[in-house]
Amino acid sequence: MECLYRQHLILPVAFFESAIGVWTASVHIEFTEKLNVHTVVLRSGVGFQSERQAKKFIIDHAKQWVDERLGSARAIRSRRKSSHSIVKE
């Protein structure tokens, strides 16, 4: 379920924590900068009922990390286009 997002390779992994009965996730984000390969590891810190939920969460979190790293101009444009569909509680 790896994906390429904004020239960053996202490699999610989910683990079942049998002691507490939940799924947790981590992700490796790999990117090249000035001919050097970098790897960043993020962990979810929260539990999920399914492997799919855990992986979706960590992929979304990784994409947010990439957006913040590169500058969120693209993310801001995306939010502006969809701002009419956002419901605030």
CA 24 to chain centre: 13
Residue 72 and residue 60: Cα distance in Å, rounded?
14
The domain in which residue 53 lies consists of 3-85
What is the pLDDT confidence band of residue 88, given thresholds at 50, 70 and 90? very low
Tokens of 44: 């979810």
Q: What pLDDT, in 10s, does the model give residues 11-53?
A: 999 999 999 999 999 999 999 999 999 999 999 989 999 999 9
Residue 31 and residue 84: Cα distance in Å, rounded?
34
CATH at residue 43: 3.30.160.350
- Would you say the C-alpha torsion 31, 75, 45, 4 has a positive or negative sign? negative
CA 54 to chain centre: 10
Domain total of the chain: 1
pTM of the model: 0.76
pLDDT at residue number 87: 25
Give the rounded percent of residues in the chain with a pLDDT score beyond 70: 80
